[in-house]
Amino acid sequence: MANLETALKECLSSIDGASAAALVDYTSGMALGTLGGTKDFNLEVAAAGNTDVVRAKLRTMELLGLKEEIEDILITLSSQYHLIRLLKGRGGNGLFLYLVLDASRANLAMARHQLRRIETELEV
Amino acid sequence: MTAVRDTTSASLDALAAEAATGALTGERGVFYLAAGRVVHVESAHTPGLGVLLTRGGALAEDGWWEAVDRDGARHRVGRRLVDSGRVAAGALEVCHLGALFDAAYFALAHDPRAHRFRPGAAHWLGALRPVPVATVLRESRRRRDLLHEIWPDPLVDVAPLARVPGARATALPARRARVLDRVDGVRTAADIAEDLAFRTYHTLVELRRLAADGLVTTAPRVPARPGPAAPDPCGTAWDDPDAALLRRLRDALEAL
């Protein structure tokens, strides 16, 4: 029964190594809610940019004729993980959760698991 | 006290600077502000929050109307829906933000001069997740640019749409195909969005893509489209409410 604010807060507090989180509408590329981020790491820009990543992957799957759904997308940088989780719920069509993790502190399997749990609690 | 400025966005900027509370009515939409932040926007061109929630399946229609009936007058419908457990707070916020930014896009489309500002007026939904005026203005601009990149004809947003004769669609993604199915020469983007309980901006993206692919075009003008698409059962018409009231009053007097 979480609202946006608490869902994002939970991302940062319960997932080890998480430093920023955003809920993004990937049709418009707008961040509906953001938390964390610094002046060197603008989450609004990250939201818009990662929208292109999601769209490109969806488009590729369309071209390949794959009927599957994307659960999550993982991008590994040298010191960070970026995790994108597409929301499934009734109203969640077209939304993804975006999470920035510190690679040295994060446990990827746990992070994916936690993110899935937060997603069900958001009940979008 | 702020006078209405030359453009809607200038009026909103001024109201934000004053931390004003009230409703700014324009030709294409109404902005509700609380303490200088936008709490809700309504437009004739976008389905309301009730449609998105009930038709999208997040909420039973009875539950929506019960909340409107019981707490509409107290401006607490949103709170009621969450407190009674009918809808999750997150789902309501997401739907609400979707509806707010969609309506703002239309209300700011040509950025006309707003008609009037009613200080103190509040929306029956209540404040869910207020958004700064600057964010609303920036997002509307960004959406306008994004749509322009896909297909630079803003008429697609508001005019009745028709299929291009002879053009054949091949292997469209499911959502675009559902939108195309509803293009019939009469419906506008708003009608299609309402019919599918989609957010309007998403529908506009699909329609502009269909237009860019040469599958959809604006329909030739049909004489006298029948009335507004749906009467607003909550009495929160986008029309300037006082003008509408005066017109009804005049009609009633003439009928005597």
CA–CA dist A111, A106 (Å, integer): 7
Position B110 scores a pLDDT of 77
CA B137 from chain center: how many Å?
A: 15
- d(CA A91, nearest CA chain B) in Å: 7
Continuous H helices in chain B: 8-17, 49-55, 61-71, 77-83, 89-107, 133-150, 155-158, 174-181, 189-196, 200-212, 241-255
User: For B31, phi and psi rounded to 5 degrees?
Assistant: -100, 130
Q: What is the ipTM of this complex?
A: 0.73
CA B46 from chain center: how many Å?
A: 3
Domain range summary for chain B, segments of one domain joined by +: 8-146, 151-218
Position B1 scores a pLDDT of 53
Q: Is B58 on the interface with A (CB under 8 A)?
A: yes
Give the Cβ contact number of residue B142 at 10 Å. 16
Residue of A23, A28, A45, A96 to mutate, interface with B, max B Cβ within 10 Å: A28
Q: Is B60 on the interface with A (CB under 8 A)?
A: no
CB contact under 8 A, B146 and A123: no
CA dihedral B198→B127→A48→B139, nearest 10 degrees, is 90
CA–CA dist B232, B238 (Å, integer): 9
| Model confidence pLDDT, tens digit, residues B11-42 | 999 999 999 999 999 888 899 999 999 999 99
| Model confidence pLDDT, tens digit, residues A20-38 | 999 998 888 888 889 988 8
Position B87 scores a pLDDT of 83
Residue ranges and CATH numbers for the domains of chain A are: 4-122 (3.30.450.30)
**Whole-number average pLDDT of chain A:** 87
E strand or H helix at B1: none
| Model confidence pLDDT, tens digit, residues A79-99 | 999 999 998 765 556 889 999
DSSP B128: S
pLDDT at B231 over 70: no
User: For B107, phi and psi rounded to 5 degrees?
Assistant: -60, -25
> Taking a C-beta distance cutoff of 8 angstroms, is the pair B222, B186 a contact?
yes
